Amino acid sequence: MSSAVLFARRPSHRRSARRSVRTAVSCALLLLLVACGGDGGEGPGRPRVTIGAFNFSESAILAHLYAGALEAAGYEAVVRENLGNRELVAPALTRGDIDLYPGYAATELEFFNSGAGEASADPAATVERLRSRLATRNLTAFTPSPAVDTNAFVMTRATADRLRVSKLSELGRVSNELVLGGPPECPARPFCIPGLESRYGIEFESFRPLDPGGPLTKTALANGDIDVALIFSSDGFIAANGLVVLADDRGLQNADNVVPVVRTSVVTDTLREALDGVSAALTTETLTQLNAKADVDKKDPDDIAREWLDQNGY
């Protein structure tokens, strides 16, 4: 991951309190996968595809969404949840222990290019570069979804309406009266305060160091201790609390659109059509609503995915 990124894509940093337990479980699961294999391709019955998921609920939801679409297209789809972070899941894909996983365009590119800084705010260009990096590993990336999970600056609806602000380019005229809350490293990271200043001319009255999109930041925003918070754009907290995500209309953040990363040996027209269909139907708003059902309502990712698939004709 590029050193410029404020947060690594969430298997690397989000939910860090659970990492130690889940890493042990992940290693055991990956050993099991080595024995079982990700046997995509034609078998004696339906073709079987194994989908891996990182160790957070959004990834599990996406994996089950793709699995449901593949089942409807005639595949046997197996989901392996909680496999760990990208450092565990990507090698499992390369080895063939799994056949695909739901990734994030800019972060996948910067992972596979060892942080070369090739990602941009353009999802099509970012995915094209990603495909070129994946080709030598016998992997590919499909069409990116409109749904994006990246760093986002948010306000309460009341504050946004009072200030008549809906995008970052409008924030500069009032920012000197506002308090920003976010991770302690925000003042030094180009996707945070330095980027806001250089790209948008935004200068806050003050900054409050809290946590990377976690409970401290969310509580401070809800209590009015800060006016603007930096959290992830698809966080269920946004949908559950009716928050306003300020549009990044000058492209400060890289394009972390949801994108399936797939072993080329299992790619067929049917598989591509099924995955692209789900990706095209997802939006960032939809993703925040699905995440709220998991993280706020505590529903199972499989049940959440099945409900969405039923509602969308699968």
- Overall average pLDDT of the 80-108 stretch: 97
**pLDDT of 28 higher than 50:** no
- Overall average pLDDT of the 222-245 stretch: 97
Cα separation of 214 and 180, whole Å?
14
pLDDT in tens, 270-304: 999 999 999 999 999 999 999 999 999 999 999 99
pLDDT in tens, 168-191: 999 999 999 999 999 999 999 999
Concatenating the DSSP letter of every residue in the chain gives --TT-SS--TTSSTTGGGHHHHHHHHHHHHHHHHHH----S--SSS-EEEEE--SSHHHHHHHHHHHHHHHHTT-EEEEE----SHHHHHHHHHHTSSSEEEEEHHHHHHHHTTS-S---S-HHHHHHHHHHHHHTTTEEE-PPPS-B-SEEEEE-HHHHHHHT--BGGGGGGTGGG-EEEE-TTGGG-TTSHHHIIIII----SEEEE--SSSHHHHHHHHHTS-SEEEEETT-HHHHHHT-EEPB-TT--S---BEEEEEEGGG--HHHHHHHHHHHHH--HHHHHHHHHHHHTS---HHHHHHHHHHHTT-
Burial of 263 (0-12, 13-18, 19+ CB in 10 A): buried
Q: Report pLDDT for 25.
A: 43
Q: What are the residues whose beta carbons fall under 8 Å from the beta carbon of 305, sequence distance 6 or more? A: 61, 64, 65, 67, 68, 290
Cα separation of 151 and 141, whole Å?
22
Q: What percent of the chain has pLDDT over 70?
A: 86
Q: Report pLDDT for 39.
A: 47
**pLDDT of 2 higher than 90:** no
Break the chain into its structural domains and give their ranges.
16-148+255-311, 151-245
Assess whether the region 16-148+255-311 and the region 151-245 belong to the same CATH fold: yes
Quickly tell me which residue has 């039923």 as its tokens.
Answer: 310
Q: Report pLDDT for 45.
A: 77
**pLDDT of 8 higher than 90:** no
What topology does CATH give the domain 151-245? Answer: D-Maltodextrin-Binding Protein; domain 2 (3.40.190)
Higher pLDDT, 241 or 17: 241
**pLDDT of 197 higher than 70:** yes
**pLDDT of 29 higher than 60:** no
- Assigned token pair, 46: 């339906």
Cα separation of 133 and 90, whole Å?
13
What topology does CATH give the domain 16-148+255-311? Answer: D-Maltodextrin-Binding Protein; domain 2 (3.40.190)
pLDDT in tens, 39-93: 444 445 799 999 999 999 999 999 999 999 999 999 999 999 999 999 999 999 9
Cα separation of 139 and 135, whole Å?
6
- pLDDT grade for 7, boundaries at 50, 70 and 90: very low
pLDDT in tens, 186-195: 999 999 999 9
